[in-house]
Amino acid sequence: MTSTLNFAAFDVETANPKYSSICAIGIAIVRNGVRVDTHSWLCRPPEPVHSFNPAIPESTASPPPWWPGSRASPSS
């Protein structure tokens, strides 16, 4: 049986319990049931990082608010 399952999975990580403290974004593209592409970006959260997420301070200490290439270009 051939799978025709096609979708994009989207995930965000937060620096603290607030939804507005996004510090990482990821997406995976699945075509015909097979993951064919993934992308991830780090961004500096506007809120302080809480101790429940100890790996995030080092990861987001110096990146810009958005990594270059993470913003979609308008299509022509």
Give the pLDDT band of residue 53 (cuts 50, 70, 90).
Answer: low
Torsion of CA 12, 16, 17, 18, to 10 degrees: -80
How do residues 8-30 score in pLDDT, each as one tens digit? 999 998 888 888 888 889 999 99
pLDDT at 75: 42
Give the pLDDT band of residue 31 (cuts 50, 70, 90).
Answer: very high
Mean pLDDT for the stretch of residues 40-63: 64
Q: Which two tokens stand for residue 72?
A: 């979609």
Q: Which two tokens stand for residue 2?
A: 């051939």
pLDDT, the chain, mean: 74
Give the pLDDT band of residue 73 (cuts 50, 70, 90).
Answer: very low
